[in-house]
Structure 1
Amino acid sequence: MWLRIHALLIKEFLNLVKDKKSRFVLIVPPMVQLFVFGYAATFDLNQVPIAIYNQDAGIASRDLIARFNGAPAFREVLRIGHQAQIAEALDSKQVLLVLHIDRHFSRDLLSGRQPAMVQILLDGRDSNTAQIALGYAQSVLSDFNMNWARERHIPLAPATLQTRAWFNPNLESRWFIVPGIVGLMTLVVTMIVTALSVAREREQGTFDQLLVTPFTPTEILIGKAIPGLIIGVLEATFGIVMALFWFQVPLLGSLAALYLGIVLYVFSVIGVGLMISSMSVTQQQGLLGGFLVIVPAVILSGYATPIANMPEFVQTLTLINPLRYFLVIIRGVFLQGLDSAALFDQYWPLLIIGVLSLGCAGWLFRRRLY
């Protein structure tokens, strides 16, 4: 049996190497995803374009403006001279934020009057970006207040807030995004390779040749699954190496725990891919079927938006999504240092999904075979 499966494995790998489309799927998409998303997809804001409307000529307003201009998050692109320019700057998306300093700002601060008025106007069309920019602006204002009080020996508030971010001390969004990209690119490559495997045989006319060989349906299915498993693990390994040495994401946990999750994750994706391939007559159908699964899987995985923020019925749908569990595994190992015992509740759903989907793929394969 294993000698026959070994021969089928060699045939599958030769098909992948010789087929230009398969070589493209194996090499180009992972590279593009890793570099484009690794650098372009970020929750950090740098060089946010801002406008300043300063009605005060005092020293305090100049100090505050200097702090905004010195902050790496902001870049002044416009100095506003009158009120009407504010709406125009925000409407045209020329700026994301407008800092409006009241004409009595310095006088009120020097005299101890409260409050000294500063207004921040934000473009709220992208609410997430606006909230991040507001947080940066509030941080600059807080530093200004602390420094002003310290230099003039004004009593500070009795309680001050000190924050510390666990697992990501510098709040680098790349540390969160890049491990997720490893799961995403492994999903895409493994799904496409397996979704095309049986469909390729049918389209090229070699499927009938398999029927007259001594292979049983189970052996053919295993021969189709193992190449996808090897390729998926290799793709994940490539992503992990890039995350560690190129993007400098720390790996705090166990490699054994991570690779156990990778094998289970790829196993579950293979089952889904072979289900699609068993139902497909042409490679185009297999490709479209693969992407019909990939897009919802990414959206419902928690990669970009937290699952807890989704409606309850949508949260229930995510339970059948392998990527959901793998993102917890890889981010937990990379950033939290979790081991296999802590991740057991993520492992067993992947195993169940893999067994059920591969069993369903085997049933479909036999049904289409005879």
Structure 2
Amino acid sequence: MYPRQIFALAIKEFLALLRDKRSRFVIIGPPLAQLLVFGFAATYDLNNVAVAIYNEDRGGAARELVSRIEGSPNFEVVAYIDHDSEVAPLINNRDVLVVLHIGQNFSSDLVKGTTTPLQVILDGRNSNTAMIAMNYLRNIVQDYNLGWLASQGESGLQVTLQTRSWYNENLQSRWFIVPGIVGLLTLVVTLLVTALSVARERESGTFDQLLVTPLRPVEILIGKAIPGIVIGLLEATLIIVLMGILFDIPLRGSLGALYLGIVLFLLSAVGVGLMISAISVTQQQAVLGAFLFLVPAVILSGFSTPIANMPEVVQWLTYLDPLRYFLVIVRGVTLEGNGYALLINQYWPMAAIGAVTLTLAGWLFRHRMY
């Protein structure tokens, strides 16, 4: 290994990026614009809601309300629980989005004509979905009220909802969207920077000069990977800082756990970028190859649509997407306060993807050089 030569090659890559107007624009302009657009304007739709029923009242009124929820096309009852201790695991493990708690005196209070509360516990990590689910449930309760009152010959509302959202108390949609932007924009910038590196050398005619240097192909590969990793770290740091300043999103978990995830995510992104760069002859081919990977990666990550709503075959494909794992990490650290132990199942898949892609990039690089 020649550390000084590798470092010099990395410096050359930084200078090439800074001197190229298009590269400077890719690094600075689009990420900031997309952060503002996604943060302030993006919204999501909801397909279905997993709900758990905690029914302490075995009366007929409670059973009728539960049957209405079971028959709703917007809800899927996945669990019936009997104790308070069963609520937290269902929410924490993302098994359900909503837990409906019906108290012991629900039916008797309705018969007496007194106001009857229902407790709804929501997973506020996906705030937009939680708000839509709450509105669906509110409509069911209102229809139930009308039916109950009509059967009793009365008017007025007797059942009320008492809601409490976990992790995102005010159900602000940007708390869900903006942390995902950290992964999305970091992937875009890192992938484009690395994908253009070798293609730029070939297009400008300086690639042959690298072949006569004392550096081996793997050392040239390392030198070209360093700028992508450094720029990705800076990009992620900038977005994290703006996330707190502009959008007031908390960082409840371990900063070290977040940056470990960022490094592993960047290794996998750089591996993919260098693979694209190794097989591209021109910068146009490199950009097209990068976007050919980016679009499926974003869709399969769960950034815009829930993975659980995808066909089973497509869900299996998401395990090959490093962005899927990083979104869990960044949202887990910001909203849930997660640390290293809770994120280990997200770290090792990204490390494996990074090892495979970097190895393939090295093989392609040697194959294309000779």
TM-score, with normalisation over the residues of structure 2?
0.71
Q: Distance in 2 between matches of 1:330 and 1:134?
A: 28
Amino acid at match of 1:13: F
Q: Give runs of aligned pairs for residues 99-110 of structure 1, distance below 5 A.
A: none
Q: Give runs of aligned pairs for residues 255-270 of structure 1, distance below 5 A.
A: 255-270=255-270
- Which residue pairs with 2:38 in the alignment? 37
- Which residue pairs with 2:208 in the alignment? 208
Amino acid at match of 1:15: A
Q: Deviations over 1:95-130 (max 9, x none)?
A: xxxxxxxxxxxxxxxxx9xxxxxxxxxxxxxxx9x9
Amino acid at match of 2:183: G
- Which residue pairs with 1:226 in the alignment? 226
Q: Distance in 1 between matches of 2:210 and 2:44?
A: 50
Structure 1 runs, 4 residues or longer, greater than 2 Å off: 130-142, 152-157, 160-163
- For residues 155 and 231 of structure 1, do their structure 2 counterparts lie closer, same or farther at Cα, with a shift above 3 Å needed? closer
- Which residue pairs with 1:187 in the alignment? 187
Q: Distance in 2 between matches of 1:141 and 1:324?
A: 38
State the percentage of identical aligned residues: 64
Amino acid at match of 1:325: Y
Amino acid at match of 1:30: P
- For residues 18 and 137 of structure 1, do their structure 2 counterparts lie closer, same or farther at Cα, with a shift above 3 Å needed? same
Q: Distance in 1 between matches of 2:331 and 2:183?
A: 10
- For residues 163 and 9 of structure 1, do their structure 2 counterparts lie closer, same or farther at Cα, with a shift above 3 Å needed? same
- For residues 209 and 264 of structure 1, do their structure 2 counterparts lie closer, same or farther at Cα, with a shift above 3 Å needed? same
**Structure 1 residue 133, shift from structure 2 partner:** 10
SS at match of 1:162: strand
**Structure 1 residue 138, shift from structure 2 partner:** 3.9
2:39 equivalent to 1:22: no
SS at match of 1:191: helix
- For residues 335 and 21 of structure 1, do their structure 2 counterparts lie closer, same or farther at Cα, with a shift above 3 Å needed? same
- Which residue pairs with 2:94 in the alignment? none
- Which residue pairs with 1:116 in the alignment? none
SS at match of 1:163: strand
**Structure 1 residue 139, shift from structure 2 partner:** 10
Q: Deviations over 1:34-68 (max 9, x none)?
A: 00111110349xxxxxxxxxxxxxxxxxxxxxxxx
- Which residue pairs with 2:199 in the alignment? 199
Structure (1 or 2) with the larger CA radius of gyration: 1
Amino acid at match of 1:22: S
**Conserved 8 A contact 2:253-2:336:** yes
- Which residue pairs with 1:252 in the alignment? 252
2:199 equivalent to 1:236: no
SS at match of 2:267: helix
**Structure 1 residue 315, shift from structure 2 partner:** 0.5
**Conserved 8 A contact 2:44-2:304:** no
Q: Give runs of aligned pairs for residues 274-353 of structure 1, distance below 5 A.
A: 274-353=274-353
- For residues 217 and 179 of structure 1, do their structure 2 counterparts lie closer, same or farther at Cα, with a shift above 3 Å needed? same
Amino acid at match of 1:241: V
Q: Distance in 1 between matches of 2:26 and 2:157?
A: 64
SS at match of 1:164: strand
Q: Distance in 2 between matches of 1:132 and 1:165?
A: 12
- Which residue pairs with 1:164 in the alignment? 164
SS at match of 1:165: strand
- Which residue pairs with 1:272 in the alignment? 272
